[in-house]
Amino acid sequence: MEYLDMYLVHWPVKLKPWNYSAVPPEDDFEPLDLESTWAGMEKCLDLGLCRCIGVSNFSSKKIQSLLDFASVPPAVNQVPYKKKTREQFKKHTLKNDYYRTFKHSDSNGDYKKAYL
């Protein structure tokens, strides 16, 4: 592989190395150095290792924090589709890539169709 089309920071969090839990306890979170993480991603972009850099699951507040120091703004913020999410991100110029599952389970574990 020569390059990635899109390189994303998937979650704006950092976990302790030994944590493999789907829902980690609060004590297993560490401070995220987003500034150096983003600088490394910008370097990958400069080296041609990726064509675009972006984020996923960032709140509007986290996006603003990133934009305060980023030399290259994120190309996209990949977030689950919700009506309030669309309103929240209108003020930012980056594109939002909304995703939604085609099936979801109810409280009994039975799968139902999700309507987009």
Neighbours of 96 (CB within 10 A): 16
Predicted TM-score (pTM) of this structure: 0.69
Amino acid sitting at position 52: C
List pLDDT tens digits, range 42-101. Answer: 999 999 999 999 998 888 888 889 999 999 999 988 877 665 655 655 665 566 665 655
With helix as H, strand as E and coil as C, how does 63-110 read? HHHHHCCCCCCCCEEEEECCHHHHHHCCCCCCEEEEECCCEEECCCCC
Please give the Cα distance from 6 to 86 (Å, whole number).
22
Number of C-alpha atoms within 13 angstroms, CB side, residue 55?
Answer: 23
Q: Given pLDDT bands bounded at 50, 70 and 90, which one contains residue 116?
A: very low
